[in-house]
Amino acid sequence: MGVLMSRRQTVEKVQKVSLAVSAFKDGLKEQPAARRRAEAGGTRRGTLEQTVQEGEEEASAGPSQPEEVSASKAAWERLRDGRGVEPEEFDRANRFTPPAFIRPQRELHDDEPPDISLEQREQVLNDEMCEICEVWTAESLFPCRICSRVYHDGCLRRMGYLQNDSTVEVTETAHTETGWSCYYCDNLNLLLTEEEMYSLMETLRQCKIIPETCLTLDDFLHYKHLVHKQQFERPMEEAQEERAALQFSALDPDKKGHIEWPDFLSHESIQLLQKLRPQNSLLRLLTAKERERARAAFLALDQDGDGFIGEGECHKARHTWFRKHQKETPSCNVSISHVGPMSESSPASSGSSKSQEKTLLATEQEEARPVDWPRFLRENVAYILAARPNSAAVHLQPPA
């Protein structure tokens, strides 16, 4: 009993210190932007803050009200810091203070091929104590399906990460084969370095994308057209626009007519990772659980045990990563080219039959080409990472 009380007192002290540090940081944020840039000393962090400041200046130059300018400023800051959406009514006085997040940095050896053996299995063990309060209470801990962290549902509520009916969803899926991703793994934007985040923010700002807003199909296609023209200096072709429309349908599985901001941000984050990093660097982002899941998928496809699978089987495996929710499995089994429901009114649905016929012919021709374990990992790594979020949306639409 004495040890338990000592542990509880330690946790309370840590919480008080966290609150004090949070208050100190909030005080620093209220200082003028010029002083912040001077204190930054020209570091890479200053580039992100400069982007936020430029967004604020553009907003203040327009006819917007002060409240809208303040909300836009807060949205850009949350985007920069990877904190996600924080509602204004969020009362942090009675909650734990979220830990400060430091964006990852690229290492010199990141581009070298990692040693991921097919034969040598990895022992996957979850942490014993809650990531938030560092207390062990056995069965009441909810494990993340991506990393080794575990959590109490009460701690997640006090952190503000469980709201409304999300508690029921966590309790129903965390201990099942479907699994649940913690708030670190659920946010693909946290995989970006500061430089990569600066690049994404600059693109969003140039394309007039407002953070934390929903995007309709027209908004999404307009954004894709602008990004394509900026990158290649030529208009987007019809086939590319059709693929963009298919991606929109995959990001809108409930056919609401718009995609939520977290899904759009995760999609753009994984797209940027594919663009800026080689496959070897992406492979180093995989966790032990993801590597084990990939091994199980490859071994299940390699029925003769020769270490090779067909090209078509490799294509099918890309779709299986997104079958996280049991209720979506029947719709996925109808056709592997439709990972996520597609609206009948979608402009992409009109030409989908022709594209499917071409894809079937291409798949038959490529079926004879064998795929080994290293190639299987390289070609699937982006889809494995894109399947991390809990959302039913498909954040990286695999080719048909």
Taking each helix axis from N to C end, the angle separating 194-206 and 217-232, rounded to the nearest 10 degrees, works out to: 110
Q: Are residues 303 and 230 in the same domain?
A: no
- Token pair, residue 125, equals 């063990």
Alpha-carbon Rg for the chain, nearest whole angstrom, is 23
219-259: pLDDT as tens digits:
999 999 999 999 899 999 999 999 999 999 999 999 999 99
354-387: pLDDT as tens digits:
455 555 455 455 456 789 999 999 999 999 999 9
How many structural domains does the chain have? 3
280-317: pLDDT as tens digits:
999 999 999 999 999 999 999 998 888 999 888 888 88
Q: Residues near 307 by Cβ (< 8 Å), separated by ≥ 6?
A: 118, 372, 373
Q: Are residues 201 and 250 in the same domain?
A: yes
Say if 30 falls within a structural domain: no
Better-scored residue on pLDDT, 50 or 43: 50
Query: In this structure, what CATH number is given to the domain that contains residue 162?
Result: 3.30.40.10
Name the DSSP class of 308.
Answer: E
Q: Are residues 193 and 265 in the same domain?
A: yes
Q: Are residues 201 and 179 in the same domain?
A: no
Name the β-bridge partners of 371. 309
Report field, pTM of the whole predicted structure over 0.85: no
Query: In this structure, what CATH number is given to the domain that contains residue 194?
Result: 1.10.238
Say if 240 falls within a structural domain: yes
Where among 186, 203, 226 does a domain terminate? 186
Q: Are residues 140 and 204 in the same domain?
A: no
Could you list the residue range(s) of the whole structural domain that residue 181 is in? 124-186
How far apart, in whole angstroms, are the C-alpha atoms of residue 290 and residue 385?
A: 9
Say if 245 falls within a structural domain: yes
Q: Are residues 215 and 232 in the same domain?
A: yes
Q: Are residues 163 and 199 in the same domain?
A: no
Task: Report how many helices (DSSP H) and strands (DSSP E) the chain contains, helices first.
Answer: 16, 6
pLDDT band at 7; cut points 50, 70, 90: very low
Q: Are residues 243 and 299 in the same domain?
A: no
Q: Are residues 133 and 202 in the same domain?
A: no
Q: Are residues 202 and 158 in the same domain?
A: no
Say if 308 falls within a structural domain: yes
Say if 332 falls within a structural domain: no
